[in-house]
Amino acid sequence: MPFPSSVPQTTDADRESAFVQAVGVRLVELLDGYHGRAAAISDSATPLVESIAGLVRGGKRMRAVLSWWGWQGAGGNPDDPLILDAAVALELFQAAALIHDDILDRSDTRRGAPSIHRAFEARHQQAGWRQDPGHFGVSAAVLTGDLCLSLSEEVFASAADASTNPAGARGLFNEMRFEVMAGQYLDILDEVEVPGQDPAEALQRARTVLRFKSARYSVVHPLGLGGILSGADGDMLEHYGRFSAPLGEAFQLQDDLLGVFGDPEVTGKPAGDDLREGKRTELVAHALDLLTPSQVAEVEAALGDPDLTPEAVSRIQTLLESGGARARVESEVLDLGDASLAALAEAPMDQGAKVGLERLARQILDRKR
């Protein structure tokens, strides 16, 4: 369901598009430099950087754009190179999270291409190297993700040091990094530590993972980091949080829906991938509450089965849809979207930033991939 617009559109969309392009150019420049540093050590080390460069090529740059609008909402100059570097750091952070996430989820693809660990595994196989190609692929991807995380910190530290509040910016960036690691752990824990059949507990656990694995680092922290780098005070950051917290949760709930119902041609992931990975999302928690005991048992048996057939995926999709779990999540997305947009309307920020954030919020709330 589309969200009705209350703020007129402006040509700021063109400036946003130019910023997205600038982020891409800056990433290429930085990674070219890192590639040279790797080559100075050994040509054999360059695939680490090349893998990162391939992953960050293109994309919507949602986190980068959120930080840019957060920067402007607190009075920052949109053309200041400081926010460009901060945005680049967020893109590198996102790439590191994706590399590690694909390892944890045993994902074969990312955006329609082989995931990083599968690409390194294929490199091993094609070269005819010794020992286990799968272990090599995972090991190389862990190191690539760690390197990407280190580069993110290196770039952000430079931006933070140039800001008026280095300690505040670094503190928030550190908080974001810690939360993601904790959230990722809770996510894999929920795949193995089945919490029984209590729907309320399952829902609470799913919402905790949703917030700290994705919602906060995807939306809340990028906006807040842009604001704090620009000198936003506590009151402004509180307004940012009222807008971004429900939007971040809506974003991840949509991701959960796409993980089960998404079109592989659009998402770049196999249909029902979250089912094969055993993801205990809010969609599953609602199913525990709404389905019959025999249907719940059927869903439980399917979760985490890597050999789930397309027919079995279709069956679980039907249960989640006909039982009302999908409708509940979609209703939650609508409610969270309304709360987010209402908070934005009340926020005392630059009108141009408000227009840009509303446009971005609507894109997030109506996303298909």
Alpha helix (H) ranges present in 105-132?
Answer: 116-127
- Give the pLDDT confidence score for residue 269 in this predicted structure: 77
For the cut 90, the answer to whether the pLDDT of residue 340 exceeds it is: yes
pTM: 0.92
CA angle centred on 285, ends 280 and 291, rounded to 5°: 125
Q: Which helix (H) or strand (E) holds 113?
A: strand 113-114
The closest of 135, 141, 58 to 98, measured between CA atoms, is 141
Tens digit of each residue's pLDDT (9 = 90 or more) over 30-62: 999 999 999 999 999 999 999 999 999 988 899
For the cut 90, the answer to whether the pLDDT of residue 191 exceeds it is: no
Backbone angles phi, psi at 110, to 5 degrees: -145, 120
6, with CB counted inside 10 A (0-12, 13-18, 19+), is exposed
The rounded mean pLDDT for the chain is 93
For the cut 70, the answer to whether the pLDDT of residue 324 exceeds it is: yes
The mean per-residue pLDDT over the stretch 287-307 comes to: 93
For the cut 90, the answer to whether the pLDDT of residue 86 exceeds it is: yes
- Give the pLDDT confidence score for residue 39 in this predicted structure: 98
The closest of 213, 268, 215 to 58, measured between CA atoms, is 268
pLDDT class of 252 with cuts at 50, 70, 90:
very high
How many beta carbons lie within 10 A of that of residue 295, not counting itself?
17
Distance CA 79, CA 157 (A): 19
Distance CA 311, CA 250 (A): 29
Parallel, antiparallel, or unpaired: how do β-strands 113-114 and 109-110 relate? antiparallel
- Give the pLDDT confidence score for residue 245 in this predicted structure: 98
110, β-bridge pairs: 113
pLDDT class of 2 with cuts at 50, 70, 90:
very low
Distance CA 283, CA 261 (A): 11
For the cut 90, the answer to whether the pLDDT of residue 176 exceeds it is: yes
Distance CA 270, CA 259 (A): 9
Direct distance between the N- and C-terminal alpha carbons of the chain, in angstroms, rounded to an integer: 15
Tens digit of each residue's pLDDT (9 = 90 or more) over 212-230: 999 999 999 999 999 999 9
Report whether 148 contacts 99 (CB < 8 A).
Answer: yes
Report whether 52 contacts 148 (CB < 8 A).
Answer: yes
pLDDT class of 367 with cuts at 50, 70, 90:
confident
Report whether 361 contacts 337 (CB < 8 A).
Answer: yes
Hey, is 7 helix, strand or coil? coil
- Give the pLDDT confidence score for residue 10 in this predicted structure: 45
pLDDT class of 8 with cuts at 50, 70, 90:
very low
For the cut 70, the answer to whether the pLDDT of residue 90 exceeds it is: yes
The closest of 221, 224, 222 to 239, measured between CA atoms, is 224
- Measured in whole angstroms, the distance separating CA 89 from the mean position of its chain's CA atoms is 14
- Give the pLDDT confidence score for residue 263 in this predicted structure: 86
The mean per-residue pLDDT over the stretch 311-321 comes to: 96
The mean per-residue pLDDT over the stretch 136-140 comes to: 98
Distance CA 80, CA 181 (A): 31
Backbone angles phi, psi at 113, to 5 degrees: -120, 165
How many angstroms separate the most distant Cα atoms in the chain?
A: 62
Q: Which percentage of the chain shows pLDDT scores above 90?
A: 84
Distance CA 215, CA 31 (A): 27
Alpha helix (H) ranges present in 262-324?
Answer: 264-267, 273-277, 282-290, 293-302, 310-322
